[in-house]
């Protein structure tokens, strides 16, 4: 009886392993798909209130945009923050590229007091900053000037001449959308997430931006559609 029980247990274990094996590929990329969907929700909610959103004049001239939802305060690092999001760049034709995954870490200065989790949006005015991120670790405020972004449909970026900012930063917490200071935060490409999301090993950010991917996940298409729509609306203002 004891031997029979052991054999029965082993049989069940092998059956469970066989059943679970086909599901493993489907799991790969699930977290990334969810992250892109969340980024789309953040973008949709922000542009739905143009009077309290990114100025159209800034969006019209942007070379790249990063959306990093749910940046979490790290309790084990004093004032530290960490989050994962996506970065897209504008093509010569004015359309937005496929998203490449990025991470942000550090940057305690200027975070909203008491906020444990915030959504962050970065607007890149130059290609130089984007090139810096794709080449390796990129520190905001060190490798490029960054400033808290102005908010509102009718707000012009009049302070740019004084600040000479290459990047404008925003945050959303508890329903509020405001400019935020992010000096010292480090941006890096998340190559593992790119591989999982696009299903290709060693895929480069440049290939992603240029559309050289084996597939364009539905989540990526929805994000681009949302941003392209916002950009068209900005052109009308």
Is the confidence at residue 198, as pLDDT, over 80? yes
- For residue 9, the model assigns a pLDDT of 39
How confident is the model over 37-49, as a mean pLDDT? 89
Higher pLDDT, 111 or 54: 54
- For residue 196, the model assigns a pLDDT of 96
Rounded to whole angstroms, the Cα distance separating 54 from 151 reads 5
Worst-scoring range by mean pLDDT, 106-115, 136-145, 182-191? 106-115
Residues 174-185: tens digit of each pLDDT: 667 777 778 888
Higher pLDDT, 14 or 1: 1
b/e map of 127-143 (b: 16 or more CB within 10 Å)? eebbebbbeeebbbbeb
Spatial neighbors of 187 by CB under 8 A, at least 6 apart, are 66, 102, 103, 104, 122, 133, 137, 138, 139, 140
Q: Checking phi first, is residue 81 left (phi over 0); if not, alpha (psi -120 to 50) or beta?
A: beta
Residues 142-180: tens digit of each pLDDT: 898 888 888 876 665 555 544 478 899 888 876 677 777
- Asked whether 182 and 166 are in contact (CB, 8 A), the reply is no
Phi, psi of 13 (to 5 degrees): -65, -45
- Asked whether 74 and 54 are in contact (CB, 8 A), the reply is no
- For residue 12, the model assigns a pLDDT of 41
- Asked whether 152 and 52 are in contact (CB, 8 A), the reply is yes
Rounded to whole angstroms, the Cα distance separating 190 from 200 reads 14
**Entry pTM:** 0.81
């Amino acid at each position: 009886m004891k031997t029979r029980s052991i054999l029965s247990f082993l049989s069940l274990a092998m059956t469970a392993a066989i059943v679970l094996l086909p599901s493993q590929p489907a799991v790969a990329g699930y977290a990334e798909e969810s992250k892109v969907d969340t980024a789309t929700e953040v973008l949709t909610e922000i542009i739905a209130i143009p009077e309290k959103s990114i100025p159209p004049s800034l969006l019209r001239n942007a070379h790249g945009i990063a959306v990093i939802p749910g940046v979490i305060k790290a309790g084990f690092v004093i004032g530290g923050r960490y989050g994962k999001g996506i970065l897209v760049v504008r093509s010569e034709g004015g359309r937005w590229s496929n998203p490449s995954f990025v991470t942000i870490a550090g940057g305690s200065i200027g975070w909203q007091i008491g906020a444990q989790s915030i959504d962050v949006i970065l607007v890149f005015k130059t290609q130089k900053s984007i090139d810096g991120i794709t080449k390796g670790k990129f520190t905001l405020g060190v490798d490029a000037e960054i400033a808290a972004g102005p908010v509102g449909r009718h707000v012009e970026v009049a302070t740019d001449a004084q600040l000479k900012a290459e990047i404008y930063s925003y945050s959303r917490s508890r329903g509020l959308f405001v400019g935020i200071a992010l000096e010292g935060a480090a941006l890096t490409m998340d190559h593992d997430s790119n591989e999982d999301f696009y299903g290709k090993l060693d895929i480069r950010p440049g290939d992603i931006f240029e559309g050289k991917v084996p597939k364009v996940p539905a989540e990526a298409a929805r994000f681009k559609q949302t941003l392209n729509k916002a950009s068209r609306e900005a052109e009308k203002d």
